């Protein structure tokens, strides 16, 4: 615009060019004055300026982003809380299984159901088991050459009471899946061993297959409820 005004001052323009330059100059001045009046009005009536508008817009965008993140975080927190509440709690079901194991402590009747080989080791094993000396009992059971089903069961129970869960699982599993006369007891204590070892899925599967008339079924039902 300054160049065009310079030409106007020089007087080297025709009438049409003069009118065009004057019109642009008047429009530019009008636009500038209108813009100034508008800014003044906004500043007086609403305390708004160009800079404050930029800041406010930035803050609004930031607040919107913060609100979105807060909503996402709240949703995640709610999901995690629901998962914790409705998932089976390993701690709770393990406490229940441990209580059942402690309160239903078994004893060896002393009447052998199989052959009588290695009678001395077996007698010492039974005596130690009934005295609650499970480490000593396990040593004697381990020393028996041809183990009976009864030897395997009480050896597995010794390992279970000693919290040697994987050993207990290996011994009891060999009886639980067979036609052993200790099958029901072995199945139930095998489920206890799985729970205490942290394998809740296998324990749940095993307990769910037990018949309503099976040994310790009331406790089985309560364990399944705790595993739901």
Could you tell me which residue, 91 or 202, shows the higher pLDDT? 202
CB 136 within 8 A of CB 121: no
Separation of alpha carbons 114 and 97, rounded Å: 30
Could you give the CA distance from residue 4 to residue 152 in angstroms, rounded to a whole number?
110
From residue 123, give the alpha-carbon distance in Å to each of 16, 77, 118, 119, 129.
Answer: 129, 59, 9, 6, 10
CA torsion sign, 30 to 36 to 38 to 44?
Answer: negative
* Contact yes or no for 172/193 (Cβ under 8 A): yes
Q: What is the DSSP letter of 209?
A: T
Identify the CA nearest to 216 among candidates 181, 192, 180: 192
pLDDT greater than 50 at residue 82: no
Q: Tell me how far CA of residue 42 lies from CA of 39, 45, 52, 55, 56, in angstroms.
A: 5, 5, 11, 16, 15
Residue ranges of the chain assigned to CATH 1.25.40.10: 90-227
Does the pLDDT of residue 56 top 50, yes or no?
no
d(CA 122, CA 141): 7
Above pLDDT 90, what percent of the chain? 36
C-alpha angle 162/165/170, rounded to 5°?
120
* Per-residue pLDDT at 112: 52
Specify the 3-state DSSP secondary structure of 179: coil
pLDDT of residue 34: 55
- Average of per-residue pLDDT across 180-201: 94
Task: Please compute the mean of the pLDDT values over residues 2-20 and round it to a whole number.
Answer: 59
Backbone angles phi, psi at 201, to 5 degrees: -65, -45
Among the residue ranges 10-24, 72-86, 124-138, 155-169, the one predicted with the least confidence is 72-86
The better pLDDT of the pair 23, 112 is held by 23
Which tokens in the block code for residue 68?
Answer: 């979105």
Provide the whole-model pTM. 0.57
Query: Domain 90-227: which topology?
Result: 1.25.40
Q: Which of 214, 213, 166 is nearest to 190 (CA)?
A: 166
For the segment 180-189, the average pLDDT, to the nearest whole number, is: 91
Question: Residue ranges of the alpha helices (H) in the chain?
Answer: 2-10, 15-46, 50-86, 90-103, 119-130, 134-142, 149-161, 165-176, 183-196, 200-208, 217-227
Torsional sign, CA 153, 156, 160, 161: positive
User: pLDDT tens digits, residue range 162-176?
Assistant: 999 999 999 999 998
* Mean pLDDT confidence for 71-86: 46
- Highest mean pLDDT (candidates 8-12, 50-54, 85-89, 202-206): 202-206
């Amino acid at each position: 615009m300054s160049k065009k005004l310079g030409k106007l001052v020089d007087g080297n323009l025709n009438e049409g060019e003069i009118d065009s330059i004057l019109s642009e100059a008047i429009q530019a001045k009008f636009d500038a004055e209108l813009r100034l009046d508008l800014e003044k009005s906004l500043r007086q009536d609403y305390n708004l300026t160009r800079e404050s508008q930029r800041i406010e817009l930035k803050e609004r965008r930031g607040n919107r982003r913060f609100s979105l993140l807060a909503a996402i975080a709240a949703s995640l927190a709610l999901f995690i809380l629901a998962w914790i509440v409705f998932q089976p709690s390993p701690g709770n079901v393990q406490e229940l299984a441990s209580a059942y194991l402690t309160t239903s402590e078994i004893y060896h009747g002393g009447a052998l159901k199989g052959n009588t080989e290695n009678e001395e080791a077996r007698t010492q094993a039974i005596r130690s088991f009934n005295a609650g000396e499970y480490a000593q009992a396990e040593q004697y059971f381990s020393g028996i050459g041809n183990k009976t089903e009864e030897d395997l069961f009480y050896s597995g129970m010794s390992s279970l009471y000693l919290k040697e869960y994987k050993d207990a699982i290996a011994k009891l599993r060999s009886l639980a899946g067979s036609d052993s006369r200790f099958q029901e007891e072995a199945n139930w204590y095998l489920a206890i061993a799985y729970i205490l070892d942290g394998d809740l899925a296998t324990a749940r599967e095993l307990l769910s297959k037990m018949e309503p008339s099976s040994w310790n079924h009331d406790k089985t039902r309560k364990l399944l409820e705790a595993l739901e």
